[in-house]
Structure formats: C-alpha cells, structure tokens
Amino acid sequence: MHPGSCSYFNSNGDWHTIVNLLSPGDLTVHGWALSDGKINELRTSGSTRWGPKSSKFIQTLYIGGTAKAAAIASNPEASLAVSFKCNSNQGAILTIADPVTRNQLGNTLSALQQMADNTSKIMHQHKDIVKRHGIWIITKAYSTRSCAITIITSKSSSISITLNNICGILALMPNSAWSGSSGSSCTKIHKDVDGVVVFISGIYFS
C-alpha cells in the first residue's frame, strides 16, 4: 500500500493492486495513458505520534482505577497498563509504535485526471472488479515501524496491554506485554523497518 496505488479490497478483505500510477513502466504494461508527471511527486510529512485506535464498541480502562488525567500527571514518561473491554460481539484495537510518518501524492487532481483519461481501459479490463468491489487510488498513507492488532470476538471480553506513556500519548513498545485476557481475543504484531501501513485515505470509484 502506497500513494499512487490503484487497487481494491476483494471479498475476503485482501488488498490487490491493479496498477501503480507512479510507475510509467507499469502503466505502459497495462496499456494505460501516461500521466503529465505531476502525479509522480511524493511528499513526506514530519513524524507524528498516535495513541491507540479502537472500534466503536471498545471501552478503554486504566488499570488501578486511575483516571487518564491523573495517570498522565503522575507519570509523564512511563509505561501504563491499559485494559480494553468489548461491549459487543466483536471489536478491534490497533496499537502503534512511534513515530507515524505520512506520505502523500503531490497532486491529487492529476490522479483524478489520469483515472478519467483511462476510464475506458479500466472498464474494459476490470469491469467486474469495479462493480463488485470498487477501486481505490491511495492519496495518503500513514506508516510506522511496528504495530499490533487485537481482535475481540465475544461480548464482555477484555485484554490488558502495557504501553509507553509520553505526555499522554500511549504507544506500542518493543517490550509491550498482553495480559489479563478474558473471553475470546487474539493479537498479531506487524513489524517492518521500511514501514507498516496503518491508515490510508484516497479516492474511491465504483
């Protein structure tokens, strides 16, 4: 996943790339019209810090009964055990290691124009995909060197995670631990020195 990727999610949620709009060679192989060059510009933002991201029915609790503000005030740079409880039959928590880097297309309008110029080719080659799944152009991608996804699959299930607390931003650590699990849950850790994409935004066609 990267800016300029023209791709789609299939019925299983797997990501499939159709063509890389930033690659003239890839466009030529697929018979697509080349861009005006402006789309090839990539911009990288400075690093930012994110806290945990959770789905709608996940409740966040701070171990030991300490409120968030109190925990931050007493431990501005310390680890903190955080418990997540699911109030539905399914939920998810994404914990992220600092820093998070944003990469984005330099010119979104050029990407739109390129899709317009290749509409007939897209419909000829990928008509079923457009109808069933739609197609994304990634315009922004946020990545980190490490993240963990916890899936909870039963109501009232909970899990505790030790996170780094720096000025109120909770982040995944190399020695983060998962404990106190109750009910049904599983966790998968993703690591890549070149970056693991944790969030994308873009233009959707259907």
Q: What is the pLDDT of residues 39-58, one digit of tens each?
A: 666 777 767 888 888 898 88
State how far the alpha carbon of 59 is from the alpha carbons of 28, 134, 148, 155, 184, in Å: 49, 33, 18, 12, 16
Selection from 107, 95, 109, 99 nearest residue 45 by Cα = 99
Rounded Cα gap, residues 140 and 118, in angstroms: 21
| Higher per-residue pLDDT: 76 or 60 | 60
State the Cα–Cα distance between residues 187 and 189, nearest whole angstrom.
7
Side chain identity at 103, as an amino acid letter? N
Amino acid letter at 197? Answer: V
Collapsing DSSP to helix, strand or coil, 91 comes out as: strand
Instruction: For the chain, give the mean pLDDT.
Output: 82
Q: Give tens-digit pLDDT for 76-130.
A: 456 777 888 888 888 999 999 888 999 888 888 888 888 888 888 888 888 999 9
Closest to 105 (Cα-Cα) out of 40, 20, 17, 198: 40
Dihedral angle over CA of 65, 70, 71, 73, nearest 10:
-170
pLDDT of residue 77: 54
For residue 65, what pLDDT band results from cuts at 50, 70 and 90? very low
Give this prediction's pTM: 0.77
* Domain limits for position 150: 5-205
Question: Which carries the bigger pLDDT value, residue 174 or residue 82?
Answer: 82
Burial code (b: 16+ CB inside 10 Å, e: under 16) for 51-64 equals ebebeeebeeebee
> For the chain, how many structural domains are there in total?
1
pLDDT tens for each residue of 11-34 = 998 999 999 888 888 888 888 887
What's the DSSP call for residue 48?
B
Q: Tell the residue number behind the tokens 């720096």, with chain if given.
A: 166
Residue 68 above 60 pLDDT?
A: no
pLDDT at 66 over 60: no
